[in-house]
Structure 1
Amino acid sequence: MTSFPDEKTPDEWRAVLNKEQFRILREKGTEPPGSGTYDKHYPSEGVYACAGCSTPLYTASHKFKSGCGWPAYFDSIPGAVVRHTDRSFGMTRTEIMCANCGGHLGHVFKGEGFPTPTDERHCVNSVSLKFSPDDKVEDGAAGKGDSKV
């Protein structure tokens, strides 16, 4: 098992995450397509951070319209996201996680032909994120209530 700088027990995570955040970030769940707060969110500036630990993960300039039903980014902030081979559901995919707390973000797909600099699509659950219109994010995890910022 991989260790991360911000390690917490499941009960400690439950104390700082709401039920849906815990299901997705800690149990590797997925929100329904098109349901997320950030699916159709396209600010010109700002930062998307981990909803669990507030680590900045993506900038607004990384985001693009993929039509996949989840927020899509062509790259992350350097060192903010780690990749892991996911062989669940009878297929091989590349899972992406917060490098600080190990929270499940979603999956990354390559070679789909999007006109982006990396030809990658980081398909991220909105629930895994919180947005700050400034280029900084408040300290602390998202509250137990609504995960929207």
Structure 2
Amino acid sequence: MSDYPVKKSDADWRAQLDATQFEVTRRAATERAFTGKYWDHWERGSYACVCCGEPLFASDTKFDAGCGWPSYSAALKAGIVERVIDRTHGMVRVEVRCQNCGAHLGHVFDDGPEPTGERFCINSASIDFKPEVLAPPTTPR
């Protein structure tokens, strides 16, 4: 397990997060498919870690994988998402966590679209959406 820059006690995480967010991010639970608030969300912006606010995914990499969870073809930048082998539930998968605080985000699979070929299958409970801030129109002088 990595030594994450953001560290809090379970009591502090419970005070910050709702029950579902805590179970998903701190206990590696999974929300049911097609129930999270972002599985069918298509606004422009970015998705940040619900625990520490670190930007993780951009809306332009989001795609409909038909799986019921938000899916992205790439992380926002290299190294922001940690990959950990997950051998739970009788499977071998690659878990993804926030590199800043260790929050469980979901899993990554090798069945995504080009150019990466990856599908980051992410729990809505682990992310917050930040809308794209558009510049105000300029008036000619």
Please report the TM-score for the alignment, with normalisation by the length of structure 1. 0.85
What's 2:72 paired with?
73
Q: Give, in whole Å, the separation in 1 of the partners of 2:54 and 2:113.
A: 27
How high is the sequence identity, in percent, across the aligned residues? 45
Letter matched to residue 124 of structure 2: S
Q: Give, in whole Å, the separation in 1 of the partners of 2:130 and 2:66.
A: 23
Q: Give, in whole Å, the separation in 1 of the partners of 2:96 and 2:113.
A: 21
- Secondary structure at the aligned position of 2:35 is classed as coil
Alpha-carbon contact 2:86-2:92 (below 8 Å) kept: yes
- Secondary structure at the aligned position of 1:41 is classed as coil
Alignment of 1:48 with 2:47, yes or no, is: yes
Q: Give, in whole Å, the separation in 1 of the partners of 2:38 and 2:115.
A: 21
Letter matched to residue 130 of structure 1: D
Alpha-carbon contact 2:75-2:81 (below 8 Å) kept: yes
Q: State the Cα distance separating 1:108 from its structure 2 match.
A: 0.2
Q: Give, in whole Å, the separation in 2 of the partners of 1:14 and 1:107.
A: 23
Greater Rg by CA: 2
Q: Which has the higher contact order (CA 8 A, sep 6+)?
A: 1
- Secondary structure at the aligned position of 1:61 is classed as helix
- Secondary structure at the aligned position of 1:36 is classed as coil
Please report the TM-score for the alignment, with normalisation by the length of structure 2. 0.90
Letter matched to residue 70 of structure 1: W
Q: State the Cα distance separating 1:134 from its structure 2 match.
A: 2.5
CA RMSD of aligned residues (A): 1.1
What's 1:129 paired with?
127
Q: State the Cα distance separating 1:54 from its structure 2 match.
A: 0.5
Q: Which moved more, 1:77-86 or 1:51-60?
A: 77-86
* Residues 76-122 of structure 1 deviation map (CA, whole Å, 9 limit, x = unaligned): 01122110000111111000000100000000000x2x433111100
What's 1:143 paired with?
none
- Secondary structure at the aligned position of 2:2 is classed as coil
Q: State the Cα distance separating 1:2 from its structure 2 match.
A: 2.1
Letter matched to residue 12 of structure 2: E
- Structure 2 residue runs of 5 or longer lacking an equivalent are 134-141
What's 2:61 paired with?
62
What's 2:35 paired with?
35
* Alignment: residue pair count: 132
Q: Which runs of structure 1 show a deviation greater than 3 angstroms over 4 or more consecutive aligned residues?
A: none
What's 2:88 paired with?
88
